Amino acid sequence: MRLRLQTDLVTDPTTASAPPAQLGYDELPRLIALMTGDEKHSQSADSTLDVLWVLYDRVLNVAPATADDPDRDRFLLSKGHGPTAYYAVLAAKGFIPIETLHTFGAFDSPLGYHPDRMLIRGVEISSGSLGHGLPIGVGVALGLHAQERRSRIVVLVGDAELEEGSNHEAIALAGRMGLDRLTVVVVDNRSATYGWPGGIAARFELEGWAAAAVDGRDHDALAAALTAEHHGQPNVVVAQVERGA
């Protein structure tokens, strides 16, 4: 598929939505390559690439035209310090103009080293300070439940990030309250300092979560785990990738 720059797209992603860019998974490396600089955190971005694609291509009920719909699904990137893969997927799906990728990290660019929800259409939380996304996701799930909305909430975290104490509290609360619209994806590159007896999935299961561990590069396995029924329980998908990725 030929990369086509969308020169007719709006350049202010906060004021209007861009039409779908119609780019596929195979174009993502090229889109990532448009972003240059010393703060790309390439390994962190690469570890999340397949999960992000499967979510936006096959799981989440959200599109540029529905980015403000109160019944949209919500995706929260807690692992926000390596956002280039995220930006590439958003561009491929039409949330941001492809030419904006060239401005990554520039002073006046909406594409910062951490994603900013006030500057980028479709971004739900400003993130990068690890340990915040999962607690926020629990709050979003509770708020949407109070509004009687059935939107899906998906939070992506890294395995080392789970060592933050705020995550342990969020895991326990979500399990006790049976927040079955909440899914957490743990990108596991075995970078945690201490780990968990029995593995990451067992840590969540102990608190009442449904859990699955899959190959984090296998799109079909990811899609199946992310869409599995888990009535009365929050869901965790441990996406296992290469060590140190």
- Using one digit for the tens of pLDDT, what is the confidence trace for 52-70? 999 999 999 999 999 999 9
Find the mean pLDDT for residues 78-107: 93
C-alpha to C-alpha distances, 63 to 27, 57, 82, 188, nearest whole angstrom: 19, 10, 22, 27
Mean pLDDT across the chain:
88
Closest by alpha carbon to 185, among 118, 220, 234, 147?
234
The reported pLDDT for the residue numbered 16 is 43
Q: Average of pLDDT values for 85-113?
A: 94
Work out the average pLDDT over 191-214. Answer: 94
pTM: 0.89
pLDDT score for 244 = 67
Q: What pLDDT does 40 receive?
A: 59
